Structure 1
């Protein structure tokens, strides 16, 4: 095969449907699909995911052109690299690679690359070449990757310019490669099928496995401090769906040098428009103004996770992107490669392995005594709880992130003595973080669970229940929600519980507060009301008590606002006591330390009539439900912006 595409001879026969000697004036690159896990089988090799600009190179008759992934000619912006490519010994060719600037450690540095373009000092830009699409009159895109890369390797053997480099591939275990890439502060790795042809556009023959969540977003607005005439407080981000509709995806502060912030501001000015380009625009906060923009600018952002409502959390601005068109920016979602769909067991096996002495490793956390029975009624074991928390982490973590925890441990099973824990004490829990002590003075550090490893680590420490505060670090002085726990007289029929939840929603609707429901995992419901963090703990506590008392006064046959079994005979106690500083409520998706190990499950209000019990969902049923849902029952939770107003207080009879 190498002889057919000699680097020094013209081709001897034309490719079908191509006139002799013709070469495309432009080629669209092949793009990788974000994968949720490495492919389970197939002929795959892996390369470093370089942190730079994708660049396709066209060489014809000694003329070199450098194109970005969306077809912009950047040849004149990189004269030194163009001159280096002129030394490649070919008559005509198309090459595919990534342009980067290397730091002192030899690692790609995207900020240095941007600075090089900003300062028009591009002499240090290096191109890592990983594919060849055309060679001396032959279109080689239909050849398998391994054959193309062999041609590329032979071609570059004759090139000795340090600005032109061959992108090596690795055959090791992809999980180990990703781990190594992350330790080296690289973005991740790219997997490619060795037997696949080159196909322009997004393909599952190429997959990307990332260390962190990071992608491009369209900038369709900015926020400024209220009344300010200039400056950028945050960028309002969006992604397009398959229909071309732009959806709001959250915001990010453009944490860049003042000079670059000024440059961003100058690019923003001519893009201002009166209406938002988002399908549903975010509502401005009281302390800032929103300025809408034509959706033309693109930036790259890293972030912790996508919320169930489609927004990103804990976003960090990375860079502006000139090489990617706004209309091509979509939400990147981890895919399972076609033909290799994952079953729950497949997904588990990729994160679980057997250790010595009967232990099991889940998410790299060692689970000892995995077969120990935690609940004698259902026979559920310690490892099943660990697996559950690993499986449910995708949905549970957004409601736990940076929220102080109270843990319920059952080292001898739920029929033994239960222990409550708020601090690390003597044993560090794998994956669990401690908040800075100054956030809660005069107390030991509070605990938070921000990743799947921490949830498995808690299960390893015999934690069954996760209770969380109504506030999120670093602002623990202002609650971001109020919760009403509907606790029924055990003699009441379930229909009374459904009526109570509906009536609570009705009262909240009438005073102007949006609410969300979840089963408690025990006997009743929790009604959750998200708040903007403006009221103090004392104000929220007084409001929750006043609302409970108002409902007990208006509907005395249904509700009681007084604690104690004697006060709720034939009624439902509206427990408002969970709204004090330091108090906590069982978290969404938490297991309950009760026979059956049921789960606290978020539901949509229109599902209420179909709920048959507060402990309806088991661990396995909870995971199956989440995987089957087409829409998040709490879809609007993260977009809800509301506070407790004077009018609301008056409506329930509060005295100021």
Structure 2
């Protein structure tokens, strides 16, 4: 096609062959589809998912118009970006990008963007441009993404203002990119087929992988304290079903500033209605007043997960959104990546798939009987168990790496018959690997789980508890840890457990051993002592027994080192027997097959006094905690280098 220019400055060259024609008045953006995991193959390009407003920019004869994704003209609201686009050396163009405000660390800050618009102080807003759809009379949308972006990069190199910037793509694998994005507190990443044309609307040529669930909701009402004349306690969130009806999806505390609260109440007063628009409104509470609204105000929230009943767990309010109409808000569907390809869900929405009685797919694995109730106390289903092990995989897998498994299965729920399993027993579990038979002679091969797929596969087999050896393959003859299980007399108060754990730490510190603490997910605590693999099983178990007897001798009124209920009346049995070859202990982050389905949770010694019970952490609370932690409670575990010395043996009375 040659070169084009407005006759002032360098022109932009384009080798692309397309039809020339009139510049479109409006182009709808291409939208990304939420997927459960990244494709392993294919020609994909990955970019940061910016936390801002999607903007489509039209330039004609040096005059720029900036539109929202729904076609609203916001040019006057972003004059600095418009001026920067006016200065580009083009006759006409359509650009696709995202308007953001960056914080001091260079990360997009949605609240700062919202505040900039609210205060009409938009000088800090920048636009990251990631696609070009039209240039100087040429429609580029049928050209592959890689060609469009090569041309866009050349154009953006001529930009004279940092108000518009090129959105870089990254060559790293998407799993590492998502992990990095999450550590940087970004929203996630966007994947795009590098060989695909531009298509307005949602498709699987563009995909998004998020650090946490996050989407828009329409506000169907709000609550305030009973009898109060002002204020907002919580927003009542909704999403539209396929038939247009409004489903109640939970409530969220908005934490408005005084200015934002006034603006919200002004808008709310203009759309008040007498009756609820929800077909399934929340049950009223006596201490609250409910004020119903036409479903037109849109807010954005992040949340932990969807419940089987279609509500959000632990939502967090982010902002009111002015760039999207309430009528367009529905539950964002997630599609499964199968055979390295994103596959559109047949049912059309996540909720319909989740509510089906038949099988669903999670992490690419077919989950049968997803709605089977495993625990009648909490109502937890098999699907919730599978989703938990999928969500917790990144934290659990380091403690499972190459470690032989012992599994507790509950095909009929935890009140039914439980099965203990160490071998595959002719049933192949996706992702679970068998160790070489020579590592455990005269026995069937041992199993290890080293991937998210393996954890999902185990949960599909109704595995609730995951227990592990105290050694890792290929060296199964030298344990790499000692575990003490504090097993109390059920009549003892919880304060006795806290005191016992603290005393154990003091003794281990005096011996010279660093220790780490986790709840058992049941009645007590596990104290884990990492070791360099120098001693064999008999020496390690003898030392663990010696420690238990030493503590029971020093504090006989608190501890027992002898097995049996009669020996722990009013005391806590220090169970050292888990340190034999082939013995196992429930793994960190494993669920327990007990009423409530508590989780064995690693905690720091500094947190000991705050723990209220051994099964304090549920599946939901565990995932929420891990996603919010700023510091690993077991910091230093993997760097600990210590072994059993002669002085340590003497300290506990061993020869």
TM-score, normalised to structure 1, is 0.58
The answer for the alignment partner of 2:479 in structure 1 is none
2:49 touches 2:187 (CA, 8 Å); kept in 1? yes
The answer for the alignment partner of 2:644 in structure 1 is none
The answer for the alignment partner of 1:428 in structure 2 is 517
The answer on 1:375 being equivalent to 2:421 is yes
Q: Distance in 1 between matches of 2:313 and 2:460?
A: 13
Q: Distance in 2 between matches of 1:294 and 1:10?
A: 51
Q: Distance in 2 between matches of 1:462 and 1:192?
A: 34
Q: Distance in 1 between matches of 2:313 and 2:462?
A: 14
What does 1:45-60 align with in structure 2 at a 5 Å threshold? 45-60=45-60
2:63 touches 2:86 (CA, 8 Å); kept in 1? yes
1:410 touches 1:463 (CA, 8 Å); kept in 2? no
The answer for the alignment partner of 1:460 in structure 2 is 587
The answer for the alignment partner of 2:301 in structure 1 is 301
1:468 touches 1:585 (CA, 8 Å); kept in 2? no
Q: Distance in 2 between matches of 1:238 and 1:183?
A: 30
2:241 touches 2:247 (CA, 8 Å); kept in 1? yes
1:47 touches 1:168 (CA, 8 Å); kept in 2? yes
What does 1:7-406 align with in structure 2 at a 5 Å threshold? 8=11, 21-337=21-337, 340=341, 347=364, 363-370=397-404, 374-375=420-421, 383=448, 390=456
Could you say what secondary structure the match of 2:148 adopts?
helix
1:410 touches 1:462 (CA, 8 Å); kept in 2? no
Q: 1:12 to 1:35 in 2, by over 3 A?
A: closer
Q: Distance in 2 between matches of 1:58 and 1:13?
A: 20
How far has the Cα of 1:366 moved from its partner? 2.9
Q: Distance in 1 between matches of 2:596 and 2:398?
A: 28
Q: 1:271 to 1:56 in 2, by over 3 A?
A: same
2:598 touches 2:615 (CA, 8 Å); kept in 1? no
How far has the Cα of 1:79 moved from its partner? 1.4
Q: 1:4 to 1:198 in 2, by over 3 A?
A: farther
RMSD of aligned alpha carbons:
4.5
2:45 touches 2:169 (CA, 8 Å); kept in 1? yes
What does 1:449-528 align with in structure 2 at a 5 Å threshold? 459-460=586-587, 465-469=592-596
How far has the Cα of 1:10 moved from its partner? 11
How far has the Cα of 1:228 moved from its partner? 1.8
Q: Distance in 1 between matches of 2:113 and 2:78?
A: 12
- Deviation per CA, 1:309-345: give whole Å up to 9, x if none: 1101111110011111212212123312476369989
Q: 1:459 to 1:293 in 2, by over 3 A?
A: same
- Deviation per CA, 1:452-511: give whole Å up to 9, x if none: xxxxx9853596734355999xxxxxxxxxxxxxxxxxxxxxxxxxxxxxxxxxxxxxxx
1:469 touches 1:582 (CA, 8 Å); kept in 2? no
How far has the Cα of 1:245 moved from its partner? 2.1
How far has the Cα of 1:396 moved from its partner? 11
- Deviation per CA, 1:38-66: give whole Å up to 9, x if none: 01221001101111111110000111100
How far has the Cα of 1:102 moved from its partner? 1.2
Q: 1:362 to 1:40 in 2, by over 3 A?
A: farther
How far has the Cα of 1:308 moved from its partner? 1.0
1:382 touches 1:459 (CA, 8 Å); kept in 2? no
Could you say what secondary structure the match of 2:297 adopts?
strand
2:240 touches 2:331 (CA, 8 Å); kept in 1? yes
The answer for the alignment partner of 1:354 in structure 2 is none
Q: 1:176 to 1:582 in 2, by over 3 A?
A: closer
Q: Distance in 2 between matches of 1:377 and 1:470?
A: 24
Q: 1:41 to 1:219 in 2, by over 3 A?
A: same
Structure 2 unaligned segments of length 5 or more: list them: 344-359, 367-385, 387-393, 408-419, 428-445, 471-483, 489-493, 502-514, 525-583, 600-611, 621-655
- Deviation per CA, 1:384-415: give whole Å up to 9, x if none: 79977645879999xx9xxxxxx997979xxx
Q: 1:111 to 1:408 in 2, by over 3 A?
A: closer
How far has the Cα of 1:2 moved from its partner? 7.4
1:273 touches 1:293 (CA, 8 Å); kept in 2? yes
The answer for the alignment partner of 2:653 in structure 1 is none
Structure 1 unaligned segments of length 5 or more: list them: 352-359, 401-406, 436-456, 473-580, 590-656
Q: Distance in 2 between matches of 1:184 and 1:585?
A: 29
Could you say what secondary structure the match of 1:465 adopts?
coil
Q: 1:338 to 1:240 in 2, by over 3 A?
A: farther
- Deviation per CA, 1:272-297: give whole Å up to 9, x if none: 11121112111211211211100001
1:239 touches 1:330 (CA, 8 Å); kept in 2? yes
Q: Distance in 2 between matches of 1:176 and 1:462?
A: 22
The answer for the alignment partner of 2:410 in structure 1 is none
Q: Distance in 1 between matches of 2:598 and 2:49?
A: 38
Q: 1:156 to 1:465 in 2, by over 3 A?
A: closer
How far has the Cα of 1:82 moved from its partner? 1.1
Q: 1:387 to 1:132 in 2, by over 3 A?
A: closer
1:8 touches 1:89 (CA, 8 Å); kept in 2? yes
1:188 touches 1:209 (CA, 8 Å); kept in 2? yes
Q: Distance in 1 between matches of 2:321 and 2:487?
A: 49
Q: Distance in 2 between matches of 1:584 and 1:126?
A: 48
Could you say what secondary structure the match of 2:99 adopts?
strand
- Deviation per CA, 1:10-56: give whole Å up to 9, x if none: 9999965xxx6411111100011111100122100110111111111
- Deviation per CA, 1:156-194: give whole Å up to 9, x if none: 111121111000001111111111111111111111000
Q: Distance in 1 between matches of 2:61 and 2:291?
A: 50
Q: Distance in 2 between matches of 1:114 and 1:431?
A: 45
- Deviation per CA, 1:209-242: give whole Å up to 9, x if none: 1111111111111011112222111000011122
Could you say what secondary structure the match of 2:517 adopts?
coil
How far has the Cα of 1:243 moved from its partner? 2.3
The answer for the alignment partner of 1:612 in structure 2 is none
Q: Distance in 2 between matches of 1:378 and 1:170?
A: 40
Q: 1:267 to 1:361 in 2, by over 3 A?
A: closer
Q: Distance in 1 between matches of 2:458 and 2:331?
A: 21
Q: Distance in 2 between matches of 1:366 and 1:229?
A: 56
